[in-house]
Structure 1
Amino acid sequence: MNLPPPIDPARHALFIDFDGTLVDLVDDPTRVAISPEAVQRLGELQSECDGAFAVVSGRRIADLDHFLRPLHFAAAGVHGLERRDRPGEPVVPLAGPEGLEPIRLALSAGVVEEPRLRLEDKGTALVVHYRGFPELQEAAVRLVSAAVNEQPGFAVMQGDHIVEVHLAGMDKGKAIEALMTHAPFQGRVPIYLGDDTTDEFGFYAVRKLGGVSIKVGEGPTEAEFRLASVDSVHRWLGVGRQEASGETEGE
């Protein structure tokens, strides 16, 4: 396993996914938890990097704020369809929910017919979850594909036990590229950590920018480096200790 180099706060900008990277995946996404020590360490890294720190997630930014409180941070939510370029600024949605209404109605009917599927409405995106029921993957894909029905202008993405649809034209990589165009990120070398297929866009973007791409967990990837698990990420970030570089156990 190709371990990542340590963070250099003087020159790096840190972008990090949430689910499967900072927190372990659970059957109920509302019940994830991150330790106060980890949140404190993220705040320290944000300060050490002169603010060049952002969370890049498929979740809504409001949800990230809830789980990471009291931390204030830049963020890209819903795969970049929401953005907050600096801590304390308002969240800017890059697409509204109106265009998804016909798909929303079709998916709502579909999950009634198969109650083991769960529909999450993010406003700017719709997600069909089948966590806990891996045998329903094909059913979830068929439901979303039928709801979209080849309508132009929509992107369908498969992730870890989810199928998501949103307006096309944005992904985590484009969100990172946009954040990198202004202070405090501009002129720094980006690092991106993520675990899922949707994070591959981020890995590709930071590699184009000459940055450091880190895959969490197993599976094929565009990333150059890898960490084994959420615990490995925390150790690499330095949660609970002063020096995290040189970690090899369990990698």
Structure 2
Amino acid sequence: MTIPPAFDPARHALFVDFDGTLVELVDDPQAVAISREALVRLADIQRESGGAFAVLSGRRIGDLDRFLAPLRFAAAGVHGLERRETPEAEIVRLAGPERLDPLRAAITAALAEQPGLRLEDKGTALVVHYRGRPELKGEADRLVEDAVAGDEGFSIMRGDHIVEVHLAGMDKGRALHAFMMAAPFLGRVPVYIGDDTTDEFGFGVVKELGGIAIKVGLGESVADYRLAAVDSVHRWLGAETGNA
């Protein structure tokens, strides 16, 4: 395991995933929690880096705000389909929920026949969860693929016990690149920490920009550096613990 170099707030811009990176993965996505010490450290990093700090997540920005309160931060939610350029800015949605209506109806109908799967409707994305039922992975894949029916206007992303579909043309890498084009990120070296397959898009862009890509946990990755787990992330950032 290659430990990443220390974060330098004078020249780095920090981008972090949420689930599996800042908080542990749990069966109930609403039951995650982060320690006060970790929140204080993130606020310190944001201040020390001149605001060059953003959270990139598959979650909606409103959910991130609730879990990370009282911290305010730049963010990309739903893999970049929601964007908040600065902590004080309004949330901008790059697509409306109505575009997903046909898929929403098809997936909802199919799930009625498979009670072991659960639908999370993010508005601009639909997520089929099979956490706790790993034997249903194939069924979740098939269900979403059937709903999309080869329409190239949609993108299917597979993560930790989830299959997600949203409009094509956006991912965490594109969102990160957009942040890097403007202050306070412009001219800094990007650092991105994530744990899931969806974070590989961000790792790729960070490497293209000469930055530091950090994979959390096991599994194949294009990232050059590794941290073992969530608590390792918080220790690397300088907080004592990442758990509540």
Give the TM-score category using the shorter length: over 0.9
Partner residue, 2:235: 235
Q: Distance in 1 between matches of 2:64 and 2:229?
A: 20
Quote the Cα distance in structure 1 between the aligned partners of 2:189 and 2:83. 20
Correspondences of 1:55-74 after superposition (within 5 Å): 55-74=55-74
Partner of 2:110: 110
1:6-155 pair list within 5 angstroms: 6-155=6-155
Partner of 1:210 in structure 2? 210
Structure 1 distance, partners of 2:21, 2:152, is 32
Alpha-carbon separation, structure 1, partners of 2:25 and 2:110: 25
Rounded to whole Å, the distance in 2 between the matches of 1:222 and 1:23 is 22
Residue 152 of structure 1, CA deviation: 2.4
Distance 2:4 2:109 in 1: 45
Cα displacement string for residues 138-185 of structure 1 (whole angstroms, at most 9, x for unaligned residues): 000000000101122100010000000000000000000000010000
Q: What amino acid is aligned across from residue 185 of structure 1 in structure 2? A: F
Task: Provide the rounded CA distance (Å) in 1 between the counterparts of 2:47 and 2:38.
Answer: 14
- Aligned counterpart, 1:171: 171
C-alpha distance in 2 between matches for 1:169 and 1:110: 26
In structure 1, distance between residues paired with 2:103 and 2:181: 34
Q: Which runs of 4+ in 1 moved over 3 A?
A: none
SS at match of 2:135: helix
SS of 2:112 mapped into structure 1: helix
One-letter amino acid matched to 2:136: L
Partner of 2:200: 200
- Per the TM alignment, residue 109 of structure 1 is displaced from its structure 2 partner at its CA by 1.1
Secondary structure in 2 aligned to 1:113? coil
User: What is the percentage of aligned positions where both structures have the same residue?
Assistant: 67
Separation in 1, partners of 2:98, 2:168: 14
Q: What is the CA–CA distance in structure 2 between the aligned matches of 1:195 and 1:152, rounded to whole Å?
A: 27
What is the aligned residue count? 241
Q: Distance in 2 between matches of 1:188 and 1:101?
A: 40
CA distance in 1, matches of 2:184, 2:30: 31
Unpaired stretches in structure 1, ≥5 consecutive residues: 242-251
TM-score after normalising by structure 1: 0.95
Displacement, 1:211?
0.2
Q: Deviations over 1:101-140 (max 9, x none)?
A: 0000011112221111010000110000000000000000
